[in-house]
């Protein structure tokens, strides 16, 4: 199942427009905050699909019956661009467990061919839990699939929500093929049609990590 929140009329699209705007992107603080706010919106929408239990809450005047989360999810993100997006989820699902994946593209001499290098995963067991895997840009889909497969080594989630701000259609198709038959819901804020030879999304927004934290060598 693929849910594209960008097709709905909501303030999400205002934040998406600012993320893409090359002039507004010059303000890295604003870029990170918009990424965070988009994460908050996705977290709220995903929260509707989580399990709840009825609890009693003591008020100054009596006892209120209030549904609360039955179990906390695990939020996992790919460093480094995923950090502000992850924080947006954590602002809403503030008691969630957290996992972080160190990964990067390693380009060959031709400058186009690359492989994904995974260095480390820090996080709890995912066995029997809801996993929310977040990465702002889903270009080729390769890193998302590898991250998902790596997290499965920490246990079998009851359900996984895979979330991107912008997805390429090619990457989305690749992801769907590789998680087919698994209890997975895919979320995105936009689907762009073009992917360059270097696997950058067009029109996309550029390099999310550089826009958040500055250019890397």
33-74: pLDDT as tens digits: 999 999 999 999 999 999 999 999 999 999 999 999 999 999
Domains of the chain (ranges; CATH) run 2-50+70-208 (3.40.50.2020)
Rounded to 5 degrees, φ, ψ at 24 are -70, -30
Which of 59, 28, 37 is closest to 205 using CA atoms?
28
* Spatial separation of the C-alpha atoms in residues 206 and 217, rounded to whole Å: 16
What pTM does this model have?
0.91
Per-residue pLDDT for 7 more than 90? yes
CA 187 to the chain's CA centroid: 8
Q: What is the mean pLDDT of the chain?
A: 92
72-81: pLDDT as tens digits: 999 999 888 8
């Amino acid at each position: 199942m693929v849910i594209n929140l960008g097709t709905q009329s909501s303030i999400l699209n205002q934040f998406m427009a600012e993320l893409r705007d090359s002039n507004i992107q010059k303000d890295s603080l604003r870029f990170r905050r918009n990424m965070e706010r988009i994460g908050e919106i996705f977290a709220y929408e995903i929260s509707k699909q989580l399990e709840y239990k009825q609890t009693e809450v003591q008020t100054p005047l009596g006892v209120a019956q209030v549904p609360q989360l039955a179990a906390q999810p695990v939020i996992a993100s790919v460093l480094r661009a995923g950090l502000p997006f992850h924080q947006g989820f954590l602002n809403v699902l503030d008691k969630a467990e957290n996992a972080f994946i160190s990964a990067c593209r390693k380009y060959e001499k031709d400058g186009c061919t690359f492989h994904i290098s995974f260095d480390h995963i820090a996080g709890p067991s995912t066995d029997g839990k809801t996993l929310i895997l977040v990465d702002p840009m889903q270009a080729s889909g390769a890193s998302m699939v590898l991250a998902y497969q790596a997290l499965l080594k920490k246990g079998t989630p009851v359900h996984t929500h895979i979330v991107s701000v912008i997805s390429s259609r090619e990457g989305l198709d690749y992801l769907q093929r590789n998680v087919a038959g698994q209890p997975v819901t895919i979320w995105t804020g936009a689907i762009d049609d073009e992917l360059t030879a270097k696997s950058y999304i067009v029109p996309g927004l550029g390099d999310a990590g550089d826009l958040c934290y500055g250019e890397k060598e």
